[in-house]
A = this chain, B = another copy of it.
Amino acid sequence: MHGQDEEMIRRVAQRWEQAWNAHDMSAMAALLADDADFVNVWGMHWRGRDEIEREHANRHRTQFKDSVWKTGELRVQFLKPDVALVHLGWGMAAGRDPDGAPRKPRQGLFTWIMLKEQGTWRIRAGHNTNVSAPPSA
């Protein structure tokens, strides 16, 4: 039975949303493992909590300054008692392009690999993708 662990993981997702919307990247980074890997929607690969925090903080000073994150469907599967595979649907409003132009609201899908260490679940790997229509589909 993984009920309590799933609840802990759902709280991490809530705290991600809260940290994003407060633009508090230090609170967001606290949800990551030290050696976390992060692949963003453009296929940029950041390695380690410090780099992930810094890259997000840069964007939250500019394009994500007013952005609002909303977590949607969350699906948690346990690969081991202390390893979880998480799929997290999300929406974002009020984002901007790097040149400041308003960006339409968009939706995405995150894969997280989470590890439980010393009683705490943290994100060891994240991979994020915008949900969009294939060309000409």
> Could you list which residues of chain A lie within 8 angstroms of chain B, going by C-beta atoms?
37, 39, 41-45, 77, 79-80, 83, 85, 87, 97-99, 101, 103, 107-109, 111, 113, 115, 124-125, 127-137
Residue from the list B42, B77, B124 in contact with A85, Cβ < 8 A: B124
The answer to whether B113 and A79 touch across the interface, beta carbons within 8 angstroms, is yes
A110 to chain B, nearest CB (A): 9
Number of chain copies forming the complex: 2
Task: Using CB atoms, name the residue of chain B closest to A136.
Answer: B99
- Please pick, from B43, B85, B109, the residue contacting A132 in the complex, using a CB distance under 8 A: B43
**Given A98-B136, A101-B136, A113-B79, A85 contacting B125 (CB threshold 8 A):** yes
Residue in A43, A77, A131, A133 with the greatest tally of chain B CB atoms within 10 Å: A43
Q: How far is the CB of A39 from chain B (nearest CB, A)?
A: 6
Could you pull out 9 A-B pairs where Cβ atoms are within 8 angstroms?
A37-B77, A43-B132, A44-B131, A79-B113, A99-B135, A111-B111, A111-B127, A113-B113, A127-B127
> Is A113 a contact partner of B136 (Cβ separation < 8 A)?
no
Inter-subunit contact B113/A85 (CB<8 Å): yes
| The one of B44, B101, B127, B134 that contacts A97, using a Cβ cutoff of 8 Å | B134
Residues in chain B near residue A87, CB distance under 8 A: 37, 39, 45
